[in-house]
Amino acid sequence: MNGDDLAGRPPAPTGPLEPWPDTVRWQPISRDLIWVELIRLGIGLAVALVVLGVAWAVAGHWLLGAALGVALLLAAWRAVTIVRAVRAWGYAERADDLLVRHGLLVRRLSIVPYSRMQFVDVSAGPLERAFDLATVQLHTAAAASDARVPGLRPAEASRLRDRLTALGEDRAEGL
């Protein structure tokens, strides 16, 4: 049997997000975002280790040494999850909306209708610029429905911004 039920219908999806990966063509983001996130983690970890190390050297309490160990373990765990989290990001352009997915433990799928977009923002911080990356931020009337697509090359971010802006204007004219 090929997975269809007896009536010849495909099986029901196993969860609310299951049909999306198979029904749309997902565009991945750049894997260079992994390096950006790992550097951010490293900077945060360095600050935490310096503070904990100085406090441990001054106070000498064993709990501060334990906190150093826990910080290192958490950083190692976070480094592994960063790689998987970046690979989970994706976006898909459809006729009437943009889909954005991300998340590992909690999978999130945002569907942003072009007609609801108010403006589209492209940003790139110092680390993103160093790795030739940008983030496209979509703003809608409802603050909870704002979506972002990080880890895009600047040319793709500009193309997506221009396309989404044009589609948003076209769809909004009919309202």
**pLDDT reported for residue 39:** 97
At CA 100, angle to CA 175 and CA 124, rounded to 5? 100
> Rounded distance, CA 113 to CA 58, Å?
56
Number of other CB atoms surrounding residue 149 within 10 Å: 24
**pLDDT reported for residue 127:** 95
Q: What is the CA radius of gyration of the chain?
A: 21
**What is the token pair recorded at 151?**
């880890």
Show the beta-strand stretches assigned E in the chain. 27-28, 90-93, 97-102, 108-113, 117-123, 134-140, 147-152
Would you give per-residue pLDDT tens digits along the chain (175 residues)? 444 444 444 444 455 555 555 678 889 999 999 999 999 999 999 999 999 888 888 888 888 888 889 999 999 999 999 999 999 999 999 888 899 999 888 888 888 888 888 888 999 999 999 999 999 998 887 766 668 999 999 999 999 999 988 887 776 655 4
Q: What does the pLDDT look like over 33-63, one tens digit per residue?
A: 999 999 999 999 999 999 988 888 888 888 8
> Rounded distance, CA 173 to CA 95, Å?
16
**pLDDT reported for residue 171:** 67
Q: Is the dihedral of CA 39, 40, 43, 44 positive or negative?
A: negative
Q: Taking a C-beta distance cutoff of 8 angstroms, is the pair 120, 162 a contact? A: no
Number of other CB atoms surrounding residue 66 within 10 Å: 12
pTM comes to 0.78
Task: Look up tokens 């592994």; give the residue.
Answer: 80
**pLDDT reported for residue 81:** 94
**pLDDT reported for residue 126:** 96
